């Protein structure tokens, strides 16, 4: 078909070489893309870990702040309760008859409320 039998094998050798070069180029491009993707993933992972650490530190700070406020509120409530108890004991010792009559009145009213 062709008058020159040498050009045909040379052309197919050249095509094979171009194909091999194309494969090598594609493989190199894929490897570079994979490396870039891994680098980006590592960068994003590091950024996410940094944000998580920052969030954790902020949350721990808020926990300590709220814990301090809760302890302060509990301490104040406990002090008020102790003061009220002391004042109540003093008033009951000063006015025993009034205390008993007041307790009976409150008990009677509460009993009426729960009866219905």
CA torsion, points 90, 95, 99, 102, in degrees to nearest 10?
-130
Quick one: which of 106, 78, 102 has its CA closest to 94?
102
Tokens of 13: 């050798």
Q: Is the pLDDT of residue 5 over 50?
A: no
* pLDDT at residue 9, rounded to an integer: 57
In angstroms, the CA 95 to CA 87 distance is: 12
* pLDDT at residue 10, rounded to an integer: 60
* pLDDT at residue 14, rounded to an integer: 85
Query: What is the domain partition of the chain in residue ranges?
Result: 7-115
Quick one: which of 74, 71, 53 has its CA closest to 63?
71
Tokens of 40: 């980006």
Average pLDDT across the chain, whole number: 89
Residues 46-55, mean pLDDT to the nearest whole number:
93
* pLDDT at residue 16, rounded to an integer: 86
Residue in the block written with tokens 């094979």: 16
* pLDDT at residue 55, rounded to an integer: 93
Asked if residues 35 and 29 have their Cβ atoms less than 8 Å apart, the reply is: no
Entry pTM: 0.48
Residues 46-54, mean pLDDT to the nearest whole number:
93
Q: Is the pLDDT of residue 68 over 70?
A: yes
């Amino acid at each position: 078909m062709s008058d020159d039998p040498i050009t045909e094998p040379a052309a197919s050798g050249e095509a094979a070489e171009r194909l091999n070069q194309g494969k090598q180029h594609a493989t190199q491009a894929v490897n570079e893309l994979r490396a870039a993707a891994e680098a980006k993933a590592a960068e994003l992972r590091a950024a996410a870990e940094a944000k998580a650490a920052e969030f954790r530190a902020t949350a721990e700070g808020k926990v300590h702040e709220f814990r301090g406020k809760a302890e302060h509120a509990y301490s104040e409530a406990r002090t008020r309760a102790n003061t009220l108890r002391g004042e109540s004991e003093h008033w009951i010792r000063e006015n025993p008859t009034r205390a008993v009559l007041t307790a009976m009145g409150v008990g009677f009213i509460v009993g009426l409320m729960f009866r219905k």
